[in-house]
Amino acid sequence: MPADGWYEWKPRDHQTGKQAYYMTPADGSVLAFAGLWEVWGSGDDRVLSCSVVTTDALGELAGVHDRMPLILTPDRWSDWLASAAADPELLTPPPAKFLEAIEIRPVSAAVGNVRNNFPELRDETPEEPEQLTLGM
């Protein structure tokens, strides 16, 4: 599944709510997520479904969320698409060097509303400052 990046939310340490982040290649290149698809039924009742394969988050990405999409490096694209049987080698995460090139960008909480669908959602915004709660 081609993608520009993905969103995750990290709980805040000292306040309620979560900070949204957008993970994307720093150089603007495209990502490919390992995905599975299936056709169910036939005719008018036909349903197409798909899902993204996930894995444990690695490196700095693990500081935002405990999982991430299984990213396929370009040298593995054709093997993934041609694989008729589950090849365990294809389920290994990309090398650390590849993951180091992923930018972790704080973005607006507006990404959490499905009615919002515009490119500016990927723009970096300052992280909302943590508010200290004083005891009584």
How does pLDDT run across 73-88, given as a tens digit for each residue? 999 998 888 875 567 8
- 19 pLDDT above the threshold of 80: yes
Q: pLDDT at position 89, please? A: 81
122-132 residue pLDDT tens: 998 887 654 43
For residue 86, give the CATH number of its domain. Answer: 3.90.1680.10
Torsions phi, psi for 110 (to 5 deg):
-60, -20
The tokens describing 82, both together, are 């041609």
On whether the CB atoms of residues 60 and 97 are closer than 8 A, the answer is no
Q: How far is 125 from 51, CA to CA, in rounded Å?
A: 29
Residue 61 counted as domain residue: yes
Q: pLDDT at position 134, please? A: 42
Tokens 């990290």: give the residue: 10
- 1 pLDDT above the threshold of 60: yes
Residue 127 counted as domain residue: no
Per-residue pLDDT averaged across 100-106, rounded?
Answer: 94
Give the range of the structural domain holding residue 88, as residue numbers without chain letter.
Answer: 2-122
Number of domains in the chain: 1
- 119 pLDDT above the threshold of 70: yes
- pTM, two decimals, is 0.82
Residue 94 counted as domain residue: yes
Which residues, in sequence order, are CB contacts of 54 under 8 Å at separation 6+? 67, 68, 69, 70
- 100 pLDDT above the threshold of 70: yes
Residue 133 counted as domain residue: no
DSSP per-residue codes, 82-135: H-SS--GGGGSPPPHHHHHTEEEEEE-GGGG-TT---GGGGS--PPPPPPPPPP
